[in-house]
Amino acid sequence: MASLALSILASSLIFIIFKLYTRFKVNTLFAIVTNYFVACSVGLMRYQGETRIAEVPEKPWFLGTFILGILFIVVFNLMAMASQKVGVAVTSVATKMSFVIPVVFGLVLYNEELGTLKVIGILLALAAVYFASLKASSIKFKKSSLILPSLVFLGSGIIDASLKYIQEIHIKEEDYPIFSATVFGSAACIGLLITIFKMADLRSKFNLNTLLGGIALGVVNYFSIYFLLKALQNEALNSASVFTINNVAIVMFTTLLGILLFKEKISSKNWGGIALAITSIILVAFG
């Protein structure tokens, strides 16, 4: 249970760090690029096996890491923007609800069964993103307020579906650690190419806060995944229970932190969306 609690804490801190970027004038793009270099380094340092870099490009999953690298850069930037503009609670719900995409992906590609409860859960998840995205101060609803949460929802879901596909088709279990480090490394390299085209901005906007923000995000990013994998080894809980507790707790914890740390206002419709989110996760996990 300790590993699950640490995974929930680390995943929640990702949204809080994004929110703090605005307060400390951190350049989001450069911090995210730094984050992936740090996450890759942490993964390599903690890898216990023999790492032969020359053999990595020969792996069947190597090309897929570049696609995931692009997705990681894009989605992390979207998560940062959403956390800063619509709040950590809304962004957390949109990210966690994206699990419906790999569920549908598994249904279509692997002919997995989808019962009535799971169908209801998927519909509730879509409704949850909608209601959690409504701003409390808005007298008239603006469709533009849905754009960032929707993009985060789609991007996160595509990443999860892509990981599931590559895992099922290409990756051997013994390659998991080096695969993770390679994905982070690919995202870092792609991000580095982007910064080359923004070299003028890098010189003027890259500061100590950006460096520290990137390091903090990279460490938290790595351990959010590391502790979740350890939690899945818990014999007392099956994987469905672990994912359910993890996702529900992250949604609720980030909402609480958003209220306590940033004085975010949560309307009755937002709370309704969060309630729908919790319900949908439970239905899909146990349905």
Residue 132 and residue 271: Cα distance in Å, rounded? 7
**By C-alpha distance, which of 287, 256, 286 is closest to 274?**
256
Write the Ramachandran bin of 261: left for phi over 0, alpha for psi from -120 to 50, otherwise beta.
alpha
| Distance (Å, whole) CA 19 – CA 139 | 25
Longest C-alpha distance within the chain, in Å?
59
Q: What is the pLDDT of residue 139?
A: 40
- Give pLDDT, residue 38: 94
- The conformation of residue 94, written as its DSSP 8-state character, comes to H
Q: Please give the average pLDDT of every successive group of 10 residues along the chain, which has 287 residues.
A: 88 89 86 91 78 74 83 85 79 76 75 74 78 58 70 86 74 72 87 79 76 94 84 69 75 81 81 84 74
Residue that is written with structure tokens 């982070």 in the block: 184
Angle at which helices 147-169 and 100-110 cross, to 10° = 40
Give the model's pLDDT for residue 17. 93
- Give 106-128 pLDDT, tens digit per residue: 777 767 666 788 778 778 877 87
The pLDDT assigned to 178 comes to 77
Between CA 52 and CA 164 the distance in angstroms is 25
